Amino acid sequence: MGLFSVNKISCLGNILMNISILFALLVSFLGATIIYLGSPNQLWRPAALPARLTRTIGFVSQVIALTLLLNVLQIASACFFLVQWISFLFILFPYIGALVVAHRKVHL
């Protein structure tokens, strides 16, 4: 067995693939968070961030996340995966906001 055996190269490829997917999830999470914070109905902050800027940053981050996913998944799989992840986040964020508001009321 040499220094670069098939098993080592295959293992390195799997690690890089997992890192790419995790990084895509993180970038997408940050983009979705920024988009949510630009919404006038968000509950995390007292005032919303500027909508145009947050939508632009959020859109660019989603494109970056899709590009990262396309490196390891097929087009349909990457799009489906990203849309489902974003949908999950946009369902989760209002509940987190409700918890934040409840926490503020308890500690006032």
pLDDT tens digits, residue range 32-49?
A: 999 999 999 898 888 989
The three-point CA angle 19-20-25 to 5° equals 95
Q: Which residue has the higher pLDDT, 17 or 13?
A: 17
Hey, which bits of 38-105 come out as E strands? none
**Using 50, 70 and 90 to split pLDDT, how confident is the model at 102?**
confident
Alpha-carbon gap, residue 57 to 13, rounded angstroms: 30
- Give the dihedral sign, CA 8/14/19/20: positive
Which residues, 6 or more positions from 25, have their beta carbon under 8 angstroms from its beta carbon?
A: 65, 85
Predicted model pTM: 0.83
